[in-house]
């Protein structure tokens, strides 16, 4: 017998990871929450809840999201403690930084190799300048 008065399950660490990866892939594909929601038949608010880990994503729905984002379902999960899983986690963490996906999307559209190297040098220089303490 099911207890209908029981509180819903709390979001787990895995739910948060899945949500953050949905958000990262959605942004990398240039899709808004509204566009993804329309593509899978839910509201943008529901997409927000998935991305924040507030609502769990069911298996069927995750399959739909993966299809729309052009990814495999396994992309949304940490897979073991091996080096590949660790690297995937690190990449997703880097892409969560505000503007990171936009910067990467803009960078890959630069066709001239020399200009791409110069942009990279500029970004690296700006990062070093940020690390120098003010006097």
CATH number of the domain residue 67 falls in = 1.10.260.40
Do residues 125 and 90 both lie within one domain? no
| Residue 129 belongs to domain spanning | 98-135
Give the three-class secondary structure for 123.
Answer: helix
124 lies in some domain? yes
23-59: per-residue pLDDT in tens? Answer: 989 988 889 999 999 999 999 999 999 999 889 999 9
Do residues 90 and 103 both lie within one domain? no
| Angstrom distances, CA of residue 17 to CA of 11, 62, 93 | 10, 13, 10
pTM of the model: 0.65
Do residues 63 and 117 both lie within one domain? no
Provide CB contacts within 8 A for 43, sequence distance 6+.
Answer: 37
Do residues 16 and 75 both lie within one domain? yes
Do residues 39 and 90 both lie within one domain? yes
Low-confidence ranges of the chain (pLDDT < 70): 1-9, 78-87, 132-135
What mean pLDDT, rounded, does the chain reach?
83
**Count of CB atoms situated within 10 Å of the CB of 20:** 18
């Amino acid at each position: 017998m099911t207890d209908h008065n029981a509180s819903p399950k709390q979001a787990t660490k895995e739910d948060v990871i899945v949500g953050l990866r949905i958000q990262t892939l959605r942004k990398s594909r240039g899709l808004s929450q509204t566009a993804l929601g329309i593509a899978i038949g839910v509201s943008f608010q529901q997409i927000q809840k998935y991305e924040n880990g507030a609502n769990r994503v069911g298996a069927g729905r995750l399959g739909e999201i993966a299809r729309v984002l052009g990814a495999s379902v396994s992309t949304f999960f940490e897979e073991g403690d091996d080096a590949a899983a660790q690297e995937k986690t690190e990449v997703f963490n880097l892409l969560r930084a505000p503007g990171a996906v936009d910067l990467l999307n803009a960078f890959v559209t630069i066709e001239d190799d020399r200009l791409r190297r110069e942009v990279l040098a500029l970004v690296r220089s700006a990062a070093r300048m940020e690390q120098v303490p003010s006097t």
